A = this chain, B = another copy of it.
Amino acid sequence: MKLGQATIKDIARELNLSASTISRALKDYPGISDETKRKVKEVAEKMNYRPNAIALSLRQSRSFTIGVIIPEVIHFFFSTVISGIEEVANSRGYNVILSQSNEKLAREISSIETMLSNQIDGVLVSYSKETKNFDHFTKLLDQGFPIVFFDRAPAIPGAINVMVDDYQGSFDATAHLISQGYKKIVHLAGPQTLKISIDREKGYREALEKNGIRVNPAYIITCPLGTLEESKELVTEALNTLPDRPDAFFSCNDIGAVGAIMACRDAGLKIPLEVGIVGFSDWQFCSMLDPQLSSVAQPGSLMGARATEILLDIIEKKLDPKTMEQTLILETKLMERDSSKRF
């Protein structure tokens, strides 16, 4: 008796039949007598038979597994995306292999390599902050390998992206601050390697211009690290040194906004009376803060779900990447809370 699982051969031996008959009986193929089918299924049940998906994968060159490459699992936003991915993949019979790049290009590349070795049917990617060269993706795309990018869209022509409307979300947030009477609005920007950072900054700029406010370059402060400490420090510095003291901060992420809250509070400024603050992402904790933080909600779970649907449709040839819409943009929603509401 083997230690492992019962195979189709074990059943065949037990019943003095051939492996082919067992296979057909289990799948209710025509040409197998009902009596045989009954016996086969009975023995399969008894032996606790479970088909070997690996053998199937090898034969069909299909693994029913998709890969997900993400910068960091710990980010709340990404965890919601994963949740959406897992949900859809699972319901359509696919497994999800996960790998985090930790924002390192080298790990991103090696992750893809091992996943390809494991014959994944497709991959969902949100690339790392380090990634500036996309050859490892274009090579695959050229071969027709199914890839869908989410959240962070690379500068690759023909690539399929699912993202939120960073520009519009940013525009809305800035316009909201303006409508609340804030005039000297600082933008805490993200690393310029990410398209989302650029789009968010653009939304900020255009909202100002459309409302007749001149964009002051000194009011755009880049936070490369994205940590709480960094933004707190930079905001404190801005409050102390900028000739025209800012009266609002729009951060490209929630952590930065929290840093701004802290810095303003330390500076003795009242929120939202004297300073307005808006974040981006609408992390869970926004409504738990004091004051509750206004933020731009990104539909993370939906993004994961949509990206997965598209990927699986491509894999199953229901969609041709060449003929389809290249970029799916999901709407954001501004959550107006205490940190930015004066009226």
Whole-angstrom CA separation of A80 from B96 in the bound complex: 18
Whole-angstrom CA separation of A98 from B228 in the bound complex: 30
Which B residues lie within 8 Å of A114 (CB)?
A: 53, 95
A96–B95 touching, CB < 8 Å: no
User: Which of B3, B5, B119, B284 sits near A144, CB closer than 8 Å?
Assistant: B3
Which B residues lie within 8 Å of A82 (CB)?
A: 73, 98
Whole-angstrom CA separation of A211 from B248 in the bound complex: 50
Chain A to chain B: the 5 pairs with minimum beta-carbon distance, closest first: A285-B285, A290-B290, A53-B117, A53-B118, A79-B79
B50–A58 touching, CB < 8 Å: no
* A residues 43-89 in Cβ contact with B at 8 Å: 50-55, 57-58, 61, 63, 65, 72-76, 79-80, 82-83, 86
Asked if A288 meets B73 with Cβ closer than 8 Å, knowing A116-B50, A117-B52, the reply is no
Whole-angstrom CA separation of A228 from B287 in the bound complex: 11
B74–A79 touching, CB < 8 Å: yes
Is A289 engaged at the interface, CB distance under 8 Å to the other chain?
yes
A76–B76 touching, CB < 8 Å: yes
Whole-angstrom CA separation of A260 from B74 in the bound complex: 26
Which B residues lie within 8 Å of A50 (CB)?
A: 113, 116-117
Whole-angstrom CA separation of A65 from B65 in the bound complex: 12
User: Which of B5, B72, B143, B288 sits near A285, CB closer than 8 Å?
Assistant: B288
Is A252 engaged at the interface, CB distance under 8 Å to the other chain?
no
Is A212 engaged at the interface, CB distance under 8 Å to the other chain?
no
